[in-house]
Copies of this chain bind each other. A is one copy, B any other.
Amino acid sequence: MDMKTSTFERVESEVRSYSRSFPKMFDRAQGATIYDQNGRSYTDFLSGCSSLNYGHNDQDLKQALIDYVSRDGIAHGLDMFTDAKEQFLAAFERIILQPRDMDYRVQFTGPTGANAVEAALKLARKVTGRHSVVAFTNGFHGVTLGALAATGNGKHRGGAAIPLGGVARAAFDGYFGADIDTTEMLDRQLSDPSSGFDAPAAIIVETVQGEGGLNAASPEWLRRIETIARKHGALFIIDDIQAGCGRTGGFFSFEGMGLSPDIITMAKSLSGMGLPLAVTLLRPEHDIWSPAEHNGTFRGNNHAFVTARAALEKFWADEGFARKIAGNAAYLEQRLRAMAETNGLSLRGRGMMMGIDTGSGEAAAAICRACFSDGLIIETSGSHDEIVKVLAPLTIPRAQFAAGLDTLETAVRSQMDHWRIAAE
């Protein structure tokens, strides 16, 4: 490690993580390419865990931000009315909500996904007067105590060092195999007054579990979950933080599925350029917050409003971008399916949020290391980090996408061969 990265060893907490997988000092980035301080370029198949769906430093978003900063646009205004916020809200209403016939209020929470989830769970409990929230196996919703209770990951849960309450756990789609309908199980438990499942304030679900292993719920399963929520008087919350903003095709991950969530949480790619921004979308009838009841200093990140609006206008004003995503996703699926079949592995995920289940955390780690040696940044997910997860920018040029997938293909083949030999 050179002199500069030694600063991190000396001063940064041991909690740092991605810098361990990718131990280079990065300097600048453009589109799907990141450069380290020595000028070497890397293709980014991680995209800030889906926070950079439009790639790094999109020229239009970047210019909008520079213009705003240059003209002394308000950077920090608490939750006061600002021009930047108004334009974002108006664009969100016009471009996202109205065309989809969605009637939601926007709550600006502290600019982290976890904070949006905390707000959602608090509000659901306030609205219903109930305390328990149903969350799913392998779900990930953040690591602050309220959100962490809903998160399945044991390492993160252990970090709390106290018991986490207020959440009942249900099995995600397919958790017990294809033959078992886990919605029937949940309905049975909630319908049985003696099951030990308290009447829930909410059911919170990701349509595709990004951290939990690219488990994609079927539309039918999601519709049944919504039906169960309604039947039992619970709010239906979709956590769209990782799967939303185009990652699975539409702006929301559940478009076209016939779902009407009571609450939707969004963050990650919402600002378009990776700036911290999070919102909780509420059906108006649930908007019973008193002023500042859930607050936070950075709950109006005006720079993020500027880039978020620019992203909405550039990418979502018509259907061109969604078509482009669909094309990329089809290509991705074709490539991954080939890799999976060649190596006897299985495909996971949906849209531009797919990966390969290697069956082993060690194998997956080895593949990612091999990719990084060859200039590709890619990470794992799943209970045992056994899924190699492709989260390329949605805007990645086809040639670069293909080259990155070539790199992945080579790494999968060589590492899985190696792995099989070692196992024999």
What are the interface flags for A107-145 relative to B under an 8 Å C-beta threshold, 1 for contact and 0 otherwise?
Answer: 110111111001000100110010110011111001111
A75 to B93, CA, bound (A): 26
Interface presence of A77 (CB below 8 A): yes
Across the interface, do A115 and B112 meet the contact criterion of CB distance under 8 Å?
Answer: yes
> CA A99 – CA B103 in complex, angstroms?
55
Check if A267 is an interface residue, CB within 8 A of chain B.
yes
A77-B26, A301-B275 known; A194 and B10 CB under 8 Å?
Answer: no
Name the one of B15, B115, B273 contacting A115, with C-beta atoms under 8 angstroms: B115
Knowing A69-B62, A274-B76, the reply to whether A112 touches B296 (Cβ < 8 A) is yes
Contact with B along A63-76 (1 / 0, CB 8 A): 00110011111111
Q: A143 near B194 (CB under 8 angstroms)?
A: no
- For the complex, count residues of A whose C-beta is within 8 A of B: 151
CB distance from A213 to the nearest CB of B (A): 8
Find chain B residues with CB under 8 A from A297 CB. 48-49, 51, 112-113, 241, 267-268
Determine whether A233 belongs to the interface, using a CB cutoff of 8 Å to chain B. Answer: no
How far apart are the CA atoms of A138 and B379 in the complex, in Å? 43
Q: In A180-212, which residues have CB < 8 Å from any B CB?
A: 180, 184-185, 188-189, 192-199, 201, 212
Interface pair A144/B115, CB less than 8 Å apart: yes
Question: What is the chain B residue whose CB lies nearest that of A164?
Answer: B198
Residues of B within 8 A of A71 (CB): 28
What's the nearest-Cβ distance from chain B to residue A51, in Å? 5
Nearest opposing residue in chain B for A62, CB measure: B69
Against B, the Cβ 8 Å flags (1 = close, 0 = not) of A1-33 are 000110110111111111110111111111000
Report Cα–Cα, A16/B292, bound state, in Å. Answer: 6
A389-411 Cβ-contact flags toward B at 8 Å (1 or 0): 00000000000000000000000
Tell me which of B30, B72, B112, B195 contacts A56 (CB under 8 A): B72
A82 within 8 A of B: yes
- Counting CB contacts under 8 A, is A253 at the interface? no
Using an 8 Å CB-CB cutoff, how does the interface string of A46-58 with B read, 1 for contact, 0 for none? 1011011000110
Q: Which residue of chain B is the closest to A194 with respect to CB atoms?
A: B383
Q: Residues of B contacting A185 with CB < 8 Å?
A: 171, 176
Is the CB–CB distance between A106 and B12 below 8 Å?
yes
Q: How close is A184's CB to chain B, nearest CB, in angstroms? A: 8
Does any Cβ of B come within 8 Å of A318's Cβ? no
A198 contacts B154, CB within 8 Å? yes
B17 touches A292 (CB 8 A): yes
Indicate if the CB atoms of A26 and B196 lie closer than 8 Å: no
| Closest residue on chain B to residue A289 by CB atoms | B15
Q: Which residues of B contact A290 (CB under 8 A)?
A: 14-15, 155
Is the beta-carbon distance between A74 and B162 smaller than 8 angstroms? no
Bound-complex Cα distance A314 to B79 (A): 28
User: Of the candidates B46, B126, B303, which one forms a contact with A78 in the assembled complex, judged by CB atoms under 8 Å apart?
Assistant: B46
Shortest A357–chain B CB gap in Å is 14
CA of A69 to CA of B60 in the docked complex: distance in angstroms? 12
Q: Are A159 and B76 in contact (CB under 8 A)?
A: no
Closest 4 CB pairs of A and B: A76-B274, A145-B146, A125-B161, A152-B196
Supply 14 A–B pairs (Cβ within 8 Å), ascending by A. A8-B86, A15-B292, A27-B73, A27-B83, A114-B296, A131-B161, A143-B294, A145-B149, A165-B165, A169-B195, A169-B197, A176-B184, A176-B188, A267-B297
